[in-house]
């Protein structure tokens, strides 16, 4: 049996696809936490709840953070996701799966920077440096330092 996972999303098609895959594979979701990012936090939470209902999931959608690790996000949101966001405690974390970069092609914000790392480089660095047993996707410090 799979352990329930906690998923943090910032809206957008990439997160919608990831949630659809998790639900489709019957991965138990402890909760989905909607943060600010591609759109504002409230829009992301509403869009995520709608998606979860459409997918037939009963996982709770909760509000996360509306700011970066060390301050407010830069004005404006990711222009790629449209108006509707779709056009735990660290000591308990044993694995990080972070969709924060591109491998074969350039980033979606600059030639090298992906949106999540570009919007909050300090958080990307914290995730990269975390003392966690297994990190599924290591973040390249160069990507985080571009912003």
Whose tokens are 């996360």? That residue is 64
Give the residue from 67, 82, 111 where a domain finishes.
67
DSSP 87-126: ---GGG--EE------SSS--SSSSS--HHHHH-HHHHHH
Condensed to tens digits (0 to 9), the pLDDT of residues 71-100 reads 777 666 666 666 767 664 545 556 666 666
In a domain, 63, yes or no: yes
Same domain, 9 and 50: yes
Note down the domain range covering 3.
1-67
H or E element: which one contains 61?
strand 61-63
Same domain, 96 and 63: no
Same domain, 58 and 101: no
Condensed to tens digits (0 to 9), the pLDDT of residues 23-41 reads 999 999 999 999 888 788 8
């Amino acid at each position: 049996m799979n352990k329930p996972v906690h998923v943090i999303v910032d809206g957008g098609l990439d997160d919608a696809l990831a949630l659809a895959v998790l639900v489709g594979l019957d991965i138990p979701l402890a909760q989905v936490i909607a943060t600010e990012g591609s759109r504002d936090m409230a829009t992301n939470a509403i869009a995520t709840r709608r998606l979860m209902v459409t997918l037939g999931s009963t996982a709770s959608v909760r509000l996360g953070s509306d700011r970066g690790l060390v301050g407010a996000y830069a004005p404006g949101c990711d222009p790629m996701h449209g108006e509707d966001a779709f056009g735990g405690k660290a000591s308990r974390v044993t694995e990080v799966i972070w969709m924060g970069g591109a491998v074969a092609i350039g980033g979606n914000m600059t030639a090298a920077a992906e949106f999540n790392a570009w919007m909050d480089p300090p958080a990307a660095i914290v995730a990269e440096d975390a003392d966690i047993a297994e990190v599924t996707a290591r973040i390249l410090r160069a990507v985080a330092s571009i912003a």
